[in-house]
Copies of this chain bind each other. A is one copy, B any other.
């Protein structure tokens, strides 16, 4: 590789169908795009840094998937339809097999969601990836964090806790002998952004967020913005069979489910009157959803095990916390 112009030509050009709303993509000073009328644009930016969000020697295909999936998950949490992405890739050196594997996985996921790469930058430096995704939401109908009302039911998609178990396997070789260690490692990287669920929830949910910092922390953002409280029933938390085997204990698995970050499942609240519609509205998504608690008045935050408060020490995930 002789330079970044070749980089675009070799790895990024001609990997995608051209969306009709993209008038100019790679190769000029800017991309030129146009959003349809009657929609608003939802935008999210995420950075993944080697050593912080993944190990530098991780499978590059998994890194690419995680980077794009985690960013798409933010669109999912707003109920948005993905459209465009820009990729800023910082690499210490151009390792051709690494870059090929990264780009193959990136475009596989991008093409699945019909999202077009419209811009980017490749620079030399410590390995990191910053993505900015954009999608469309109907005017005045995005899922936000501030709409939860007392009495609403609290749901999550999928199963929780696998990502933390996978992270432990990644960070500690001694965890590799545990049941399903390799499978959980893979799940840590290969989350499915809940795009279809988010879209289906636009008319049903009162608030939503994606679980990137851990259920407790992210639900906390909904509660804070909505000025309400909550009670959660830990026996209802959806945990995978693999997690239960890995943890050797349902109690530990439940603790993982409450605190595991980078799950990229959705947590959302649903008013009583919409509860009956959830199942049919989400049937086409093929995604499990589970009611795990209820919205309470502000100041209440109960984590209950068969109705009794638990005294577990739990916290969310924060890169800058000690």
Binding site for B on A (CB under 8 A): 1-5, 7, 23-24, 27-35, 37, 39-53, 74-75, 77-78, 80, 84, 86-88, 90, 94, 118-126, 128, 130, 132, 135, 137, 139, 142, 144-146, 208-210, 225, 318-321
Question: Are A209 and B88 interface neighbours, CB within 8 A?
Answer: no
Chain B, residue nearest A130 (CB): B130
Given contacts A29-B44, A32-B78, A88-B88, 12 further A-B contacts (CB under 8 A): A3-B320, A24-B142, A29-B209, A29-B210, A30-B77, A30-B142, A32-B42, A32-B137, A44-B119, A47-B123, A51-B125, A119-B132
- Are A49 and B124 in contact (CB-based, < 8 A)? yes
Whether B4 contacts A319 by the Cβ 8 Å rule is: yes
The copy count of this chain in the complex is 2
User: Across the interface, do A40 and B23 meet the contact criterion of CB distance under 8 Å?
Assistant: yes
A119 to B105, CA, bound (A): 26
Given contacts A23-B40, A47-B121, A123-B53, contact A2 B90 (CB under 8 A): no
> Given the complex of chains A and B, what is the CA–CA distance between A86 and B23 in angstroms?
22
Cβ B30 vs Cβ A90 within 8 A: no
* Cβ B125 vs Cβ A52 within 8 A: yes
Chain B residues within 8 Å of A47, by CB: 88, 90, 121, 123, 125, 130
Q: From B45, B121, B210, give the contact of A86 (CB < 8 A).
A: B45
Closest chain B residue to A93 by CB distance?
Answer: B320
B2 touches A86 (CB 8 A): no
| Nearest B-chain residue to A75, judged by Cβ | B30
> A125: which of B28, B41, B126 is its contact (CB, 8 Å)?
B126
- Tell me, rounded to whole Å, the shortest Cβ–Cβ distance linking A67 to chain B: 12
